[in-house]
Amino acid sequence: MPPAKTAFSSLPRIAALSWPIILSNITVPLLGLVDTAVVGHLPDSRYLAGVTLGATLFGFLYWGFGFLRMGTTGLTSQAAGRERDDDVRHLLGQSLILAVGIGVILILFGGPLVELGLWLLDGSPQATALAESYAAIRLLSAPAVLANYAILGWFLGQQNTRVTLALLLVNNGVNIVLDLVFVIGLGLTSDGVAWATVIADYSAVAVGLWWCRRRLARLGGHFLRQRLARLSAYAELFSVNANLFVRTLGLLFAQAFFTAQGAAQGDTVLAANAVLLQFIMLTSYALDGFANAAEALTGHAIGRRRFDEFAAAVRGAALCSLLTALAASLAFAVGGNALVALLTGLPEVRATAAEYLPWMVAMPMIAVWSYLLDGVFIGATAIREMRNSIFVGLAAYLPLWWLTQGLGNHGLWLAFLGFTGVRSTVLIAYYLRYRSTRWRGQAGLPPASAA
């Protein structure tokens, strides 16, 4: 019988899996900075406004389909743990078919969604017109974007995060180069940014499929038509992805509500909140890396029916996540004002952000559990519980905001922190319950009290 795993024995593997994800996360804002810098130097500010509106719209739209990455990761990691190479192979095929199908539907029928999104974003007529042109081009990349999600999830499920890093570097690298060529070289303005993104997305898919072909050759076997063409073969994938989609919609609503209520308090509060939300994004770069490592390791352990490996992966990822969250809280407490100054030069925004900075000091230690346990539950494909945590959190978020409106933006941040805290608490409760019953049972062990 293999020796039992401990939290410390899992740390080297967690580090190996997480660093490429953390590094790839850092490349995402770099692309946004290049887009802003290239278009921001055009003679008319409406081009920058148009790209900002369009990019914001597609950020929300495509994030809504992020379930294709998460669902594929959880199911693939479990299949890899069971050493079912045929299942691993067919999960790639099924996920790609689903991604391309949804992408084609978005191209054909995405126009009304774009119009609704731009109406909600409420930009100026000139910026909205440019954003509409930008969006018409960006929609063409929908199959590629969603196929990239499936490929990234498939490799992550097999604990290969270096391919994930390589694909994101290809995507962002091609995008940045073409930004410069199309906008500065050819003078294509905001449409040039859109075409650069579309070509970059398809370039990444081409490289990703090449990596998939190499991996499939090592897996052996071949695709079976009935497993790819029969609708019933997609039942588990549909179930997981449907719950992830609903969960993502809940998260989108929570963030959109926060932004809308901040905007209702004036442009200065809206801008200050936007600056402070960058603190959360910075923290998420590292915490997502450990959560993604937890996805791959816990799913693999469940597939192998090794509860000791599952528990060690959770404890190791929790240790890394907690240390990172603590470091973030300390950094925001000591250097928060300096970071605000780096993000904005407007005195009134700096002063307003400084007033609400204590919420940023508290947020990492509250949010860390939701990041970590999202990864654990994705690996364990306990997706309904993730979905439930969002809606229990929303049930606390909205009444708490209503009760604290008299506190202004402090009340809004309190409500948002409450949403995060309630969601984390629900996930912790589910985790303690299932680790002592369900997951031990999957490993063939008798139930035990949660520790």
Please write the tens of the pLDDT for every residue from 148-192. Answer: 999 999 999 898 888 888 998 898 889 888 888 887 778 777 778
- Specify whether 384 is located in the same domain as 434: yes
What per-residue confidence (pLDDT) applies to 188? Answer: 77
The mean of the pLDDT values for the chain is 84
- Judged against a pLDDT cut of 50, whether residue 35 lies above it is answered with yes
Last residue of some domain: 184, 205, 229? 229
* Angular region, 122: left φ>0, alpha ψ -120 to 50, beta rest: left
Do the domain assignments include residue 5? yes
**Mean pLDDT (whole number) for 420-430:** 95
- Judged against a pLDDT cut of 90, whether residue 8 lies above it is answered with no
- Specify whether 11 is located in the same domain as 77: no
What per-residue confidence (pLDDT) applies to 32? Answer: 61
Q: For residue range 212-234, what is the model confidence (pLDDT) as tens digits?
A: 999 998 887 777 777 787 877 78
What per-residue confidence (pLDDT) applies to 378? Answer: 92
CA distances from 190 to 127, 195, 367, 387 (A): 10, 9, 36, 37
- Specify whether 348 is located in the same domain as 217: no
- Specify whether 245 is located in the same domain as 327: yes
Among the residue ranges 35-39, 136-140, 183-187, 432-436, the one predicted with the least confidence is 35-39
- Specify whether 84 is located in the same domain as 203: yes
Cβ proximity of 39 and 183 under 8 Å: yes
Do the domain assignments include residue 34? no
Last residue of some domain: 211, 229, 247? 229
Do the domain assignments include residue 33? no
- Specify whether 308 is located in the same domain as 434: yes
Do the domain assignments include residue 69? yes
| Distance separating alpha carbons of residues 121 and 56, to the nearest angstrom | 9
What per-residue confidence (pLDDT) applies to 275? Answer: 80
| Distance separating alpha carbons of residues 398 and 413, to the nearest angstrom | 12
- Judged against a pLDDT cut of 60, whether residue 6 lies above it is answered with no
Among the residue ranges 48-57, 106-115, 308-317, the one predicted with the least confidence is 48-57
- Specify whether 223 is located in the same domain as 323: no
- Specify whether 212 is located in the same domain as 294: no
Do the domain assignments include residue 347? yes
Cβ proximity of 169 and 27 under 8 Å: yes
- Specify whether 194 is located in the same domain as 282: no
Q: For residue range 333-387, what is the model confidence (pLDDT) as tens digits?
A: 998 888 888 776 778 888 888 999 999 999 999 999 999 999 999 988 888 999 9
Last residue of some domain: 229, 262, 293? 229
- Specify whether 120 is located in the same domain as 143: yes
Query: Residue 417 burial (CB < 10 Å; 0-12/13-18/19+)?
Result: middle
Which range of residues forms the domain containing residue 320? 1-26+239-451
Do the domain assignments include residue 35? no
- Judged against a pLDDT cut of 60, whether residue 4 lies above it is answered with no
**Tally of structural domains, the chain:** 2
With a pLDDT cut of 70, the percent of the chain lying above it is 88
- Judged against a pLDDT cut of 50, whether residue 51 lies above it is answered with yes
